[in-house]
Structure 1
Amino acid sequence: MTSLEAHGLIVDVPGRASGRPLDLRMAPGERWGVLGPNGAGKTTLLHTLAGLRVPRGGEVHLEGRALSRWRRREVARRLGVVFQERHDEFPASVLETALIGRHPYLSPWQREGETDIARAREALRHLELEHLEDRLVSSLSGGERQRVSLATVLTQAPCWWLVDEPTNHLDLHHQVATMALLEQQARQGCGVVMCLHDLNLAARWCSHLLLLYPDGEACWGAARDMLVPEALERLYNQALTTVDVDGAPVFVPVR
């Protein structure tokens, strides 16, 4: 597994004339949190890193090669994406949806085999969804759908996880379980890039942070260096106070 890199990358955020080019290298085993207010370009950046949006400038490199030179099937074997918004175009069960993660490994018209089904069921078990495998995804709650999306990428087994708001719709227990899953994937050698709104999740679970400001400015580095109240207050236009809990900072908004 190798790095995911941005070389002079300028994401094409609608309504923004320009932005600071991103020159950064994200290595396997790292957990990158992308922070910023609404409209700063977090989702656009994630989609650009996945090759789903064309950048305004620069390139994304995977394994030392421009992402634009990869075949989409090869990209799909290496990059897994959890989207913020999901649309159920066709009726499908939870198990059938999780099995979508195996499609990059199958030839056209090839059906999933026993190994694929076993992998999908293991992913559902990991996300506490095994009892729902026969349910239609359209009948699930928002939190259950989010866990199905995570299970689908776990079934896919990519080198890189690109996750847009991983704890969206999740209760407290499943928020912690999801962040622990992403940490486990990183420990196993995967890279993780996730858009977050919760500063305290970022402080607890991220090894690196990328801060995106509304005017296109950006800064990045190790989480311990980026979790500076002055920078975060400017990022969100919100006063913060910091409390130490078990040796880790907890950020609390000030009215």
Structure 2
Amino acid sequence: MASLETHELLIDVPGRAAGRCLDLQMKPGERWGVLGPNGAGKTTLLHTLAGLRPARAGEVWLDQRALARWRRRELARWLGVVFQEHHDDFPATVMETAMIGRHPYLSPWQRESGEDLAIAREALRRFDLDHLASRLVSTLSGGERQRVSLATVLTQAPRWWLVDEPTNHLDLHHQVAIMSLLEEQASAGCGVVMCLHDLNLAARWCSHLLLLYPDGEACWGPVEEMLELTALERLYDQPLTRVEVEGAPVFVPRR
């Protein structure tokens, strides 16, 4: 079972001297939502899980092997990352950007095959981007660009999705489509870790939650156990009202 684990992990948040070490065991099929206010370390944690940022202490393990022992090309077949911000330094079309997801499977100087192209086309179709395949990504709206990033990871076909704000810039229709796709990926045996600001999306779509507090405190567990009103109000320093809509919890901020 290709679990993603942290052992005594302390993420390196600038200006924060201490924090709770994270001992997480995240399994394929689970959808983990990482919640917390700005500056609590959500993006830092995601980058640390991806091996893109060193931890202050502890280790990340993937499939019972320390992340530091993985070769980068091999790791890219297992971990797919969607960043919060996109920096398009070179001109590229939507299709060319999606095809980057096939690079971990190609040897140096090997050209993409017809099968690779078909995988990318299907990913663009899933994100309602097929009609934009020839457009430069620099001409896209924020929501369109976010969907291209997600389509690129779908083209990559990793076993773990690490997603920073998956619904960033997206309208309601595409928010539901993205969260449904992540649920589908988990049902197919992938693992999903996503940083979220929308508490109600987390309540609706996540199986587990990790709450990161600004002082470095953290708690985690199944979503049903973590949606405790007092803990969430302390997390966001905001009074909340919990209501039930069609049997599901919805949280509304109080003035």
TM-score normalised by L of structure 1: 0.99
* Amino acid across the alignment from 1:128: D
Say whether residues 1:197 and 2:197 are aligned partners.
yes
Residue 18 (structure 1) shift? 1.3
Distance 2:110 2:24 in 1: 39
Gaps of 5+ in 1: none
Render the CA deviation track for 1:79-104: whole Å, top value 9, x for unaligned.
00000011001000000000000000
Render the CA deviation track for 1:111-163: whole Å, top value 9, x for unaligned.
11100000000000000000000000000000000000000000000000000
Partner of 1:22, secondary structure, is coil
Q: How does 1:130-169 map to 2 (within 5 A)?
A: 130-169=130-169
Distance 2:113 2:95 in 1: 13
Partner of 1:210, secondary structure, is strand
- The aligned counterpart of 1:19 is 19
Partner of 2:47, secondary structure, is helix
- The aligned counterpart of 1:179 is 179
Render the CA deviation track for 1:60-90: whole Å, top value 9, x for unaligned.
0000000000001111000000000110010
- The CA RMSD over aligned residues, in Å, is 0.5
* Amino acid across the alignment from 1:250: V
Render the CA deviation track for 1:177-197: whole Å, top value 9, x for unaligned.
000000000000000000000
Distance 1:72 1:59 in 2: 17
* Amino acid across the alignment from 2:24: L
Gaps of 5+ in 2: none
* Amino acid across the alignment from 2:150: L
- The aligned counterpart of 2:113 is 113
Partner of 2:238, secondary structure, is coil
Moved over 2 A (4+): none
Partner of 1:219, secondary structure, is strand
* Amino acid across the alignment from 1:51: G
Distance 2:117 2:138 in 1: 21
* Amino acid across the alignment from 1:79: L
Residue 25 (structure 1) shift? 0.2
Residue 199 (structure 1) shift? 0.5
Distance 1:116 1:24 in 2: 34
- The aligned counterpart of 2:92 is 92
Render the CA deviation track for 1:29-82: whole Å, top value 9, x for unaligned.
000000000000000000000000000000000000000000011110000000
Distance 1:19 1:228 in 2: 22
- The aligned counterpart of 1:237 is 237
Identity of aligned residues (%): 79
Residue 10 (structure 1) shift? 0.3
- The aligned counterpart of 1:210 is 210
- The aligned counterpart of 1:127 is 127
Partner of 1:37, secondary structure, is coil
Number of residue-to-residue matches in the alignment: 255
- The aligned counterpart of 2:6 is 6
Distance 1:228 1:15 in 2: 29
- The aligned counterpart of 2:63 is 63
Partner of 1:170, secondary structure, is coil
Partner of 2:7, secondary structure, is strand
Residue 221 (structure 1) shift? 0.1
